[in-house]
């Protein structure tokens, strides 16, 4: 198994390279960072619906769709990607996908520990600090005859740009994402007050991954590989691939396992209802309701928001809370009932 201990790669090569190796059937650990910022969307996402393409164009941030699952991410030089490419007949590959995540996360967890940050793997695909903040997100996929597992050490993170890269229905939603990321996503810089030398981090990563895979054989990018990546870049950035229709309907942004910002809009008889929620462990942490519907008494919407805050997102439970609100406040809402609120809140069960 090879070790590609690379520096920063231009354009989208830091992401394209693992696709190339997997298609070529080359088993490797790749450590790499992007030279320029880029936005990456999951295979089941459509760039038009998930990324603010206008902003990305203005900020010179290319958008690429990857052959790996998951959601939108913002990538830049302050991340060290660790990408594992193994053939699916490799003894460490398991069709039990969760097991692969757990196994390959261990060297990363140990690396953070070596630098004084206590972390652990949290299914499905996160590495969290002991305070429960996400410090690494992961994804995987079958490409060619290989299984790839990818993630990144977060040295530092530009929360502002990440929240700008995402396509959002309204600015309020962007603020929520930004604030929630600040609260739930951390970096080595945040944890340690400074960023340890990049080469030191990489050498610890290599040492830890070698405990798993055995001695890795150093290898370098070759000119034919670069040529192949250029071809791949054309394929990956083609409108046919980037804007391919997928069955995934954007409903929000997952910040880390158990924390997501959900946006919903519902056209009821009595008007449009918009709902933005921050959901933590299936409970509504924050909620903001708006729209062009009418409630009597006026200004009682805040009471409803307060009533729903902290509650578990179960249809029957929330229904009873909304009914309580109607009774207590003697609310009238022509053409709107509790079902309509639940639809806007995307509460299905």
Partner 1 sequence: MTKVEDYDMPEELYYHQEHMWAKVEGDKVKVGLSDFSQKLAGEISYIEMPEEGGQVNQDKVVGRYETGKWLGKIYAPVSGEVISINEDAEDDPTLINKDPYGEGWIFEMKMSDSAELANLMKGEKAVEWLKGEIAKHAKEKK
Give how many residues touch partner 1 by CB under 8 A: 29
Q: Which two tokens stand for residue 299?
A: 């200004």
| Most distant CA pair in the chain, distance | 73
- Binding positions for partner 1, 40-69, rule CB under 8 A: 42-44, 67-69
Span near partner 1 by CB under 8 A; candidates 72-80, 135-143, 202-210, 325-333? 135-143
For residue 126, the SS3 value is strand
Nearest Cα to 233, choosing from 78, 66, 69, 82?
66
Binds partner 1 by CB under 8 A, chosen from 101, 121, 209, 263: 101
- 97 binds partner 1, rule: CB under 8 A: yes
Span near partner 1 by CB under 8 A; candidates 97-105, 169-177, 188-196, 308-316? 97-105
Which x/- pattern, by CB under 8 A, does the window 114-133 give for partner 1?
Answer: ---------xxx--------
Give least dist CB 50 to partner 1, A: 13
Residue 293 near residue 272 (C-beta atoms within 8 A): yes
Span near partner 1 by CB under 8 A; candidates 110-118, 228-236, 245-253, 277-285? 245-253
For residue 227, the SS3 value is helix
- 73 binds partner 1, rule: CB under 8 A: no
Q: Are strands 63-65 and 38-41 parallel, antiparallel or unpaired?
A: parallel
- 34 binds partner 1, rule: CB under 8 A: no
Which x/- pattern, by CB under 8 A, does the window 3-32 give for partner 1?
Answer: ------------------------------
What gap in Å lies between CA 31 and CA 8, rounded to an integer? 9
- 248 binds partner 1, rule: CB under 8 A: yes
Nearer to partner 1, 96 or 215 (CB): 96
- 140 binds partner 1, rule: CB under 8 A: yes
Nearer to partner 1, 69 or 271 (CB): 69
- 182 binds partner 1, rule: CB under 8 A: no
Give least dist CB 277 to partner 1, A: 20
- Binding positions for partner 1, 271-330, rule CB under 8 A: none
Q: Which two tokens stand for residue 25?
A: 């059937």
Q: Which two tokens stand for residue 3?
A: 């070790």
Which x/- pattern, by CB under 8 A, does the window 76-95 give for partner 1?
Answer: ---------------xx-xx
What gap in Å lies between CA 102 and CA 161, rounded to an integer? 30
Question: Which residues, at least 6 apart from 145, have a Cβ–Cβ distance to it below 8 Å?
Answer: 22, 25, 87, 88
Nearest Cα to 219, choosing from 10, 11, 21?
21
- 96 binds partner 1, rule: CB under 8 A: yes
Nearest Cα to 277, choosing from 299, 307, 250, 309?
309
Residue 293 near residue 274 (C-beta atoms within 8 A): no
Q: Which two tokens stand for residue 28?
A: 């490797």
Question: Is the preceding omega at residue 124 within 30 degrees of 0, hence cis?
Answer: yes
Give least dist CB 101 to partner 1, A: 7
C-alpha separations of 176 from 24, 49, 183, 185 in Å: 42, 19, 11, 13
List of residues contacting partner 1 (CB under 8 A): 42-44, 67-70, 91-92, 94-101, 103, 123-125, 138-142, 246-248
């Amino acid at each position: 198994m090879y070790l590609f201990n690379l520096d920063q790669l231009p354009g989208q090569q830091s992401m394209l390279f693992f696709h190339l190796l997997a298609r070529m059937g080359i088993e490797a650990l790749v450590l790499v960072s992007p030279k320029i910022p880029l936005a990456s969307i999951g295979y089941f996402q459509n760039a038009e619906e998930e990324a603010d393409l206008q902003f990305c164009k203005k900020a010179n941030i290319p958008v690429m769709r990857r052959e790996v699952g998951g959601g939108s991410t913002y990538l830049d030089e302050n991340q060290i990607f660790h990408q594992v490419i193994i053939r699916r007949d490799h003894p460490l590959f398991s069709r039990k996908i969760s097991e692969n995540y757990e196994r390959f996360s261990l060297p990363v967890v140990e690396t953070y520990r070596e630098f004084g940050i206590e972390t652990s793997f949290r299914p499905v695909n996160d590495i969290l600090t002991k305070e429960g903040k996400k410090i690494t997100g992961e994804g995987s996929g079958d490409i060619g005859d290989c299984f790839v597992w990818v993630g990144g050490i977060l040295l530092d993170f530009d929360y502002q740009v990440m929240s700008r890269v995402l396509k959002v229905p309204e600015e309020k939603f962007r603020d929520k994402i930004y604030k929630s990321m600040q609260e739930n996503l951390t970096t080595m810089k945040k944890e340690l007050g400074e960023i340890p030398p990049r080469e030191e981090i990489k050498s610890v990563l290599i040492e830890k991954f070698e405990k798993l895979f055995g001695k890795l054989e150093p290898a370098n990018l070759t000119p034919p590989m670069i040529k192949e990546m250029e071809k791949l870049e054309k394929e990956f950035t083609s409108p046919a691939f980037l804007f391919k229709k997928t069955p995934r309907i954007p409903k929000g942004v997952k910040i880390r396992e158990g924390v997501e910002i959900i946006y919903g809009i519902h056209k009821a008889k009595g008007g449009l209802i918009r709902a933005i929620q921050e959901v933590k462990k299936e409970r509504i942490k924050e909620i903001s309701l708006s729209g062009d519907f009418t409630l009597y008494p006026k200004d009682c919407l805040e009471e409803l928001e307060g009533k729903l805050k902290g509650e578990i997102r179960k249809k029957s439970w929330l229904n009873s809370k909304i009914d309580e609100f109607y009774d207590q406040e003697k609310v009238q809402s022509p053409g709107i009932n509790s079902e309509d609120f639940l639809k806007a809140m995307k509460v299905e069960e």
